[in-house]
Structure 1
Amino acid sequence: MIDYLMDDNDDLLIVNGDFVRGEGNRQQQRKLLLAEKGEYKQAPLATVGTFQFLNDEGDVAGEDLLREIRLRFIQDGIDIKGMGFENGFLNISGDYAK
C-alpha cells in the first residue's frame, strides 16, 4: 500500500520540502506492534501493545506476545509465513495478502 512515510521518530518524512510517499506495509506493521491497546480509538483492539508483554515476567510472556502478534496481524490482513525470536530479536516473515 502506498502511504506517506515516516522516519524512525514517527514524524512525517520530508525530503527537499516534500512529503515522501512509498510502500508503507512495514510501517503499518511497526505501528501495529508498538501501539498500545486503545491507542487508536476507532479500533481499540487492533494493536498488539508489545511493551505490555515486555513488562510481564515469566517465560509465558514471549509465547503470549507471539500469539497476540499472529492474531492482530491476521486481523489486519497480513499473511504470516513465519515468526519467532532469534538472538533476542523478533523476526516476522509475512506481508499483506493480495
Structure 2
Amino acid sequence: MEDLLLTEDYDLQIKNGDFVIGDSQEQSVELLLLAKPGEFKKNPEAGCDILSAKNGVIDRFLDREIRVQLDADGFQLENLSITEKGIDISGKYK
C-alpha cells in the first residue's frame, strides 16, 4: 500500500520540494493505534488510543480493540502479541 509518508514527528516528508510516497503499511497501523476515536473525521469510530494503556493494565480488552480496529481498517492480522515491552503485529492490508 503506497501513500504519503510521514516523518518521525508525524509531519509530511518532503524531498527535493516534493512529497515522499512509499510503503505506508506500518505507518497506517501505527496511526490507527495512536489515534483516539473521533480524530478521523471520515471515520470517527476509528482509533485505539493506545497511549491511554501506557502504565496501565494490559488486558483482553486492549487485545480485542486492536483486532477489531485493524480488521475494520482492512488489515489482515496474522499475529498480535502484547507484552510489557510493546506490541508486535504482523500481517498486511487486503
Query: What TM-score does the superposition give when structure 2 sets the normalisation length?
Result: 0.88
Alignment of 1:1-98 (within 5 A): 1-54=1-54, 57-58=56-57, 61-86=58-83, 88-97=85-94
Structure 1, unmatched stretches of 5+, are: none
Secondary structure of residue in 2 paired with 1:67: helix
Structure 2, unmatched stretches of 5+, are: none
Query: What TM-score does the superposition give when structure 1 sets the normalisation length?
Result: 0.84
Q: Which whole-Å CA distance do the structure 1 matches of 2:92 and 2:59 have between them?
A: 22
Task: Judge conservation of contact 1:38–1:45 (CA < 8 Å) in 2.
Answer: yes
CA RMSD of aligned residues (A): 1.7
Identity of aligned residues (%): 36
Secondary structure of residue in 1 paired with 2:59: helix
Per-residue CA deviation, residues 45-87 of structure 1 (Å, 9 max, x unaligned), is: 11111122336x44xx332211100000001111111111356
